Chain A
Amino acid sequence: MAASERTRWILRPQTVPFVRQAIAHRKRRTAVAVSGIAFAILVVFVQLGFYGAVVNTALAISSKLDADVLLVSPRFVHLSQANSIPRVRLFQTLALSEVVSATPLYLRYARWREPLTGESCKLFALGFPLISGAPLVLPGIEEQLGAIEPSNTLLADTLMRPECGPFAPDGAVEVREQVAHVTGRFELGVGFLGDGAILMSDDTFARLFSSHSLDRVHLGLVKLAPGVDPELAAGKLREILPEDTRVVSRGELQGLLERHWVENTAVGNIFGMGTVAGFFVGVVVLFQVLSADIRTQLPLYATLKAMGYRDTKLYRYVLEQSWVFALLGFVPALIVTSSLFPLIRGATNLPVFMTPGLAGFVLVLSLGMCTLAGTLSLRRISTAEPAELF
């Protein structure tokens, strides 16, 4: 036997590649199945992308806070509905030797108007005492703190909606009907929280939000000495602070925010439901294709049963087909979504990203979707009755 002939023998499958043949033979049916599944997976990808943006929204600011432990109101709901605690609670934390600093953070939505275009935007404003340093760990912020020392100056998020401006050469904008100037930029992106974020000194915050007293703090950022266990320190703080203040770790705060955004907001629910809907669209499409296929080939499956093929073997054929359809549908959906997400980001500034985690999760979901559809259609196989062949 020649070497090439030997190789052909070695590479040949030991049994008939039944699934491959069935998929390759019925090209139209395969195209219908794969298109339907690819569309369903695309829907799942987009929904999960937006769902991820909701989660990213929850973490956008909280993950950047320069703090080990946080003080919030017991009635804290989320950052824009934080309620407040007395500023004095921050001073009280300094009684603990483990605490290095406690910085007040003031949070509010601000209506911003671009004077040249008249465009109005809803921005999330963060105020803090400049002396404490930047409350967010972001590149370039610390160096720009001097630029927001003058009254009514602020740093603006580069990821705010482009039409929000500012377009005037001196960065002039209207914030709560007062003139302010953008004197520096930082890159954050707040997703569904607003059209962008602005950072300012507590003095400017007090000017712009004159109704709010700086004695009432929305978030207390507590920094601990190096090596101190935040959980331990949080426990001690709980002991010394009264019930009007809640002490949470960074993880707890992020958990609170994530739960709020995912479970209690319309966007979280809409995208969660959208994912479920996409999943079931895929199940229905593939179930229809597989069921119709099995129905038309029922006598052929019955013949295999008569030959001695076990039901379990035939089930495997159907499930393998559904898995191949899942993979064939997943690849184009991944390619399209990978091109689509940057466009969505560009158009909306929402933090919608294709990550290996998302791709892997959707792949598992796709396989699950097709396994469910395949399993539902297996019932038809059991109706293949070899006795009817004679």
Chain B
Amino acid sequence: MSGEAGFEAVPTAARTDVAPAVVVERLHYAFGEGEARKGVLFDIWLSVARGEFVIVTGPSGSGKTTLLSLIGALRSPQEGTLRIMGRDIGQLPRRELEDFRQQLGFIFQLHNLFPALTAYQSIQMSLDLHDLSLEEKDARIVAILETLGLAEHLHYKPAKLSGGQRQRVAIARAIVHEPKLVLADEPTAALDEDNSKIVLERFRDLVRRTGTAVLMVTQDARVFESADRLIQLVDGRITSDQRPGD
């Protein structure tokens, strides 16, 4: 796909027999009104296939997070088209948008766990939106907490967990329902190297096993190698899109 900026998107080896997970065309976005209006994203063209792990990087204020929130249907596009899993989310009514978000997995910089809920319950809150039996929910929660090294902390509330453990619970909550698209904002920022590897391995496993697309914003150069594609965003424009190692 080619944008007006002359940028060539990298063909992916991921599934191409179905609609791409993300298609962004001619996307512009600005904050504020009138004279205070400030452009954040300019003429973004982007396609992410299902089963693709894409990292978006760039300096602070380059528009990475805004792009993520637009793709996650948390903001409405002002100009351009945004199709997620084949659906134009700019056209979706509010109610459908709420339901649509259930197919996504969000990982925020802050864990945002409810202090009253245990790790188990926080993750179950995500599964409660889906039609699963209690046994199935239990199996999934236990399995994901085990793979994230939290098997011993099933019934711990956030106050009893370290920062890294809380972040892993938040990650488990975002991916336990095997979403079609995971949008992650600096998910490994609070993690040490070992735990970062565990989390990235979870992402890779999800991509491999369920065809989930992962779009991750990070400035952590240690994790670039894990991705299928690395997109550089500078001053609201995509300046490069390549495979790590190219």
Contact = CB atoms under 8 A, between A and B. Distances in A.
Chain B binds chain A: yes
Interface of A: 9, 12, 14-16, 18, 21-22, 24-26, 297, 299-300, 302-311, 386-387, 389-390
5 contacts: A16-B124, A306-B106, A308-B101, A311-B98, A389-B74
A15 B128 contact: yes
The A contact surface, by secondary structure, is helix
A297 B113 CA distance: 10
A22 B74 contact: no
Given A21-B116, A26-B116, A307-B125, A390 B98 contact: no
Nearest to A302: B112
B112 A303 contact: yes
5 smallest A-B Cβ distances: which pairs? A308-B102, A25-B116, A387-B74, A308-B101, A303-B112
B69 A387 contact: yes
B135 A299 contact: no
A15 B72 CA distance: 25
A21 B157 CA distance: 11
Contacts of B95: 310
Contacts of B134: 9, 12, 14
A305 B102 CA distance: 10
B142 interface: no
B1 interface: no
B116 A307 contact: no
A16 B108 contact: no
Contact of B125 (A16, A297, A302, A310): A16
Nearest to A12: B134
Given A9-B134, A15-B128, A307-B125, A386 B116 contact: no
B126 interface: yes
Given A9-B135, A306-B74, A308-B101, A389 B129 contact: no
Nearest to B72: A306
A304 B125 contact: yes
Residue from B98, B121, B135 with most neighbouring chain A CB atoms (10 Å): B98
B11 interface: no
A168 B26 CA distance: 104
A300 B69 CA distance: 17
A154 B135 CA distance: 80
Given A25-B115, A390-B68, A16 B121 contact: yes
B136 to A, nearest CB: 12
Interface string B90-120: 0000010011111110101110111111000
B63 to A, nearest CB: 11
Nearest to A299: B112
B128 A389 contact: no
A22 B134 CA distance: 21
B69 A390 contact: yes
Residue from A12, A302, A308, A311 with most neighbouring chain B CB atoms (10 Å): A308
A303 B108 contact: yes
Contacts of A311: 98
Contacts of B74: 306, 386-387, 389-390
Interface in B124-145: 124-126, 128-129, 134-135
Nearest to B114: A300
B185 interface: yes
B124 A15 contact: yes
B117 A21 contact: yes
B129 A387 contact: no
Given A16-B124, A307-B129, 10 more contacts: A9-B134, A18-B125, A22-B114, A25-B115, A303-B106, A305-B98, A307-B102, A308-B101, A310-B98, A387-B75
